[in-house]
Amino acid sequence: MVSLCSGVGCIDLAASWYGIRTVLFCEIDPYCQKVLQKRFPDVPIIADIRDVTAEKVREVTGLDQIDIVCGGWPCQPHSLAGKRLGAQDERDLWPEFRRVLRELRPRWFVGENVRGLLSTDAGRFFGAVLHDLADLGFDVRWGVHGACDVGAPHRRERVFLLAYHHEV
């Protein structure tokens, strides 16, 4: 699995409990990088998603095929607490996620973002994400799940996307 916008590696930690091995992180925040290095000392980190290319992934991991790409692109363009600029926000990295998926051609994509993603630009942004994934050959399912769904004392709702590519 290649992990984009990895944060402190929560998706990767959970995946490791089920035998899924993360072979590359992409995370720009120095503090998060330190946490990743402590949790996953042998996994390389590329700081900038713009540097994640099929060639670079092959060079760093030695692998020709990646099974899963996961990650939560920055939520600030979609958060109800922000300006909600969507694609007009310079922090919007969905186009980079789309590019990486096109280049790496994984069988699976697992994405995560804030619930506000569903209503950014009156729902058009999320519709474009689903359209992009379909254009890349993915069959997509999605849902909203909160931290309270797994026993936490707060809601913290997130949109999760699970996409499968039948032809890879």
Assigned domain for 15 exists: yes
Tell me the C-alpha distance between 13 and 103, whole Å: 25
pTM, 2 dp = 0.93
Tell me if residue 128 falls in helix, strand or coil: helix
Total length of the chain = 168
**Domain containing residue 85:** 2-141
Assigned domain for 55 exists: yes
Total tally of structural domains belonging to the chain:
1
Assigned domain for 106 exists: yes
Q: What angle do CA 63, 97, 43 make, to 5 degrees?
A: 40
User: Which tens digit of pLDDT belongs to each residue from 91-132?
Assistant: 889 999 999 999 999 999 999 998 989 988 989 999 999 999
Q: What is the CATH number of the domain that holds 12?
A: 3.40.50.150
Assigned domain for 76 exists: yes
Assigned domain for 157 exists: no
Q: Which are the catalytic amino acids?
A: 75
> Which of 28, 18, 21, 107 has the alpha carbon at shortest distance from 73?
28
Q: Is the dihedral of CA 138, 161, 102, 87 positive or negative?
A: positive
Assigned domain for 82 exists: yes
Assigned domain for 101 exists: yes
